[in-house]
């Protein structure tokens, strides 16, 4: 789900997810996640909430493979697309070349970096799609608010989000829920920002041609998976996958929603 999707769930994941490990992981999965994110209907739904204007300059922080930057590019003046994964930025550039898009500038950078030194600058609108992973959420939100002249749009998970709690626990990992949208609504309120909230439902196909494909599709949830953990997950899938119309499925829904929080700088979220 990257734009960058939430990817650390428990203490083991957190211990393994320093900046080098995360960069290596997302570089390796960049193409797959970019293709998935573009096919879900999420980008179009986000843009309907955003109502972009042709005069806008936009910062897309942690842009992933251009899930929003590519469809947004034809609707705004320019976009600065920032991500810490070099491969993600290459995908953005490749998609721009294929589509004849010339108003997207890519820039390597992280939430934790000094944005002034990166040269991010000030934009009309700042967006951060499914990517608020910084340890200091307040600082990240402050940075977004500071570089936006007109409005800020962020999205984050609702409840468990795209994570499969049962599958994670089958591997022996404790499910530790990351703060969902309510945390950010309250944090913004404490910052003096009354954010508007809209929701984007997303349907998980939850369907695979083989057990091996099903396992591969879960690896993003289990970074640093050991051989023992992998065997536990394989056993879980062998036990629970059922054949439905020629494809393997888990016998429960994995549909979820994303919350889009947004505020205008004139009125601090009241307009």
Alpha-carbon span 266 to 212, nearest angstrom: 52
Residue 67 neighbours by CB under 8 Å, 6+ apart:
2, 3, 34, 37, 38, 42, 43, 129
- The terminus-to-terminus CA distance of the chain in angstroms comes to 30
Which pLDDT band holds residue 204 (cuts at 50, 70, 90)?
A: confident
Distance of CA 170 to the CA centre of its chain: 24
Is 70 exceeded by the pLDDT of residue 271? no
To which residue do tokens 């589509």 refer? Answer: 99
- pLDDT over 90 at 229, yes or no: yes
Q: Are 72 and 44 in contact (CB under 8 A)?
A: no
In this structure, of 127-136, 189-198, 229-238, the range with the lowest mean pLDDT score is 127-136
Q: What DSSP string describes 177-235?
A: PPP-HHHHHHHHHHTT---EEEEEEE----EESSHHHHHHTTGGGSTT--HHHHHHHHH
Nearest-angstrom CA–CA distance, 222 and 233: 10
**What's the CA gap between 230 and 76, in Å, rounded?**
45
**pLDDT of amino acid 36:** 58
> Can you tell me the distance from the alpha carbon of 271 to that of 51, in angstroms, rounded to the nearest whole number?
14
Domains of the chain, first to last: 11-164+173-204+255-264 (3.40.50.150)
* 236 pLDDT higher than 90: yes
Place of tokens 């609707």: 75
Q: Please tell me whether residue 1 adopts helix, strand or coil conformation.
A: coil
In the chain, helix, strand, coil percent, each to 5?
40, 20, 40
Which of 100, 22, 24, 95 shows the shortest CA–CA distance to 65?
95
Q: Which structure tokens are listed for 47?
A: 């843009």
Q: How would you label 206-221 residue by residue, b for 16+ Cβ within 10 Å and e otherwise?
A: bbbeeeeebbebbebb
**Does the structure show a pLDDT above 60 at 169?**
yes
Mean pLDDT in residue range 229-253? 95
Structure confidence by residue, pLDDT tens digits, 107-161? 999 999 999 999 999 999 999 999 886 578 999 999 999 999 999 999 999 998 8
The token duo for 13 is 């994941």
User: What's the chain's average pLDDT?
Assistant: 86
- Candidates 83, 148, 159, 151; CA nearest to 118 is 83
| Torsion sign over Cα 41, 42, 45, 47 | negative
Residue 254: per-residue pLDDT: 86
Residue 18 is predicted with a pLDDT of 45
* Size of the chain in residues: 271
The reported pLDDT for the residue numbered 182 is 94
Number of helices and strands (H, E) in the chain? 11, 10
Query: How much is the pLDDT for 98?
Result: 95
Percent of the chain clearing pLDDT 70 (strictly above): 83
| pLDDT beyond 70 at 2 | no
Q: What is the pLDDT of residue 40?
A: 73
Task: State pLDDT tens for residues 48-66.
Answer: 999 999 999 999 999 999 9
- 11 confidence band (pLDDT: 50, 70, 90): very low
Q: What angle do CA 129, 15, 204 make, to 5 degrees?
A: 40
């Amino acid at each position: 789900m990257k734009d960058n999707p939430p990817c650390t769930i428990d203490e083991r994941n957190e211990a393994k997810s320093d900046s080098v490990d995360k960069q290596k992981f997302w570089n390796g999965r960049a193409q797959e996640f970019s293709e998935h994110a573009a096919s879900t209907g999420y980008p179009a739904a986000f843009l309907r909430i955003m109502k972009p204007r042709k005069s806008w300059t936009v910062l897309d922080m942690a842009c992933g493979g251009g899930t929003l930057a590519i469809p947004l590019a034809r609707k705004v003046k320019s976009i600065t697309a920032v991500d810490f994964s070099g491969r993600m930025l290459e995908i953005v550039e490749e998609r721009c070349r294929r589509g004849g898009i010339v108003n997207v500038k890519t820039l390597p950078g992280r939430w934790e970096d000094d944005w002034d030194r990166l040269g991010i600058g000030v934009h009309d609108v700042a967006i951060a799609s499914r990517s608020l992973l910084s340890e200091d959420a307040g600082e990240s939100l402050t940075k977004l608010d500071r570089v936006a002249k007109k409005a800020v749009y962020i999205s984050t998970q609702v409840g468990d989000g795209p994570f499969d709690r049962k599958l994670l626990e089958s591997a022996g990992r404790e499910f530790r829920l990351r703060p969902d949208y309510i945390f950010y609504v309250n944090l913004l309120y404490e910052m003096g920002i009354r954010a508007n909230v809209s929701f984007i439902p997303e349907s998980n196909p939850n369907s695979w041609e083989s057990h091996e494909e099903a396992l591969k599709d879960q690896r993003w949830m289990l970074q640093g998976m050991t051989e023992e953990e992998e065997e536990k997950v394989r056993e879980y899938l062998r036990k629970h996958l059922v054949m439905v119309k020629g494809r393997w499925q888990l016998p429960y829904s994995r549909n979820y929603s994303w919350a889009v929080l947004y505020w205008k700088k004139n009125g601090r979220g009241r307009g």
